[in-house]
């Protein structure tokens, strides 16, 4: 099920943003150990990824899951219930296809994207970028952006990490919910 509050499209005019058409959209809140992060879903751009993410959110799948990989000046990653970076699955119990659009690119920080093991291997893991990451274009589905809590993303990004870029002090999603 895709949760959409409206579908009025408008062109972004901010010079720091992609020329992505934005729409009224579902907002997901990640209540983390550092504070709340609000994510705006791109349901017109990546409907499968949004359906997967919002359904997992409604079902409590992300509640209690840790940020298992944090790389300063790159991204924070979450969504694996095993906490190892090797687990998780989609709502369909199998991998799903990538959803790339030529005008939707990693040209700024605070973008929400699917983590994967290669082409068409999307499951439950996701990441939020902390810098522009153009080398990821055409490799990871962008399906949302941070609209509030950018400072919380930065706090998580700046946590000390150990082996495998895993935070030394557990950073987790306490609860994820649709706003």
Q: What are the catalytic residues?
A: 69, 74, 77, 116, 127, 136, 140
Question: E strands along the chain, which residues?
Answer: 9-11, 21-23, 27-32, 35-41, 69-71, 75-78, 111-114, 126-129, 142-148, 173-178
Pull the structure tokens for residue 81.
């219930």
Pull the structure tokens for residue 37.
């992060």
Cα end-to-end distance, the chain, whole Å:
16
Contact 147, 31 (CB under 8 A): no
The whole-angstrom separation of Cα 87 and Cα 82 is 6
**Which residues lie closer than 8 Å to 26 by C-beta, 6 or more apart?**
2, 3, 4, 5, 40, 41, 43, 50, 54, 178
- 């919380």: which residue's tokens? 152
């Amino acid at each position: 099920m895709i949760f959409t509050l409206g579908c009025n499209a408008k062109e972004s005019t901010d010079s720091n943003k992609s020329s992505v058409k934005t729409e009224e959209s579902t907002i997901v809140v990640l209540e983390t150990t550092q504070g709340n992060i609000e994510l705006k879903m791109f349901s017109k751009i990546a409907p499968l990824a949004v359906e997967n993410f919002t359904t997992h959110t409604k079902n409590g799948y992300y509640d209690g899951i840790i940020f298992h990989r944090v790389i300063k000046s790159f991204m924070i990653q979450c969504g694996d219930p095993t906490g190892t970076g090797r687990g998780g699955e989609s709502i369909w119990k199998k991998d799903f296809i990538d959803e790339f659009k030529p005008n939707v690119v990693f040209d700024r920080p605070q973008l929400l994207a699917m983590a994967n093991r290669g082409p068409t291997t999307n499951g439950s893991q996701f990441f939020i970028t902390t810098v522009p990451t153009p080398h990821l274009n055409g490799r990871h589905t962008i399906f949302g952006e941070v609209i509030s809590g950018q400072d919380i993303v930065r706090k998580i990004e700046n946590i000390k990490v150990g082996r495998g870029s895993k935070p030394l002090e557990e950073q987790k999603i306490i609860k994820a919910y649709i706003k």
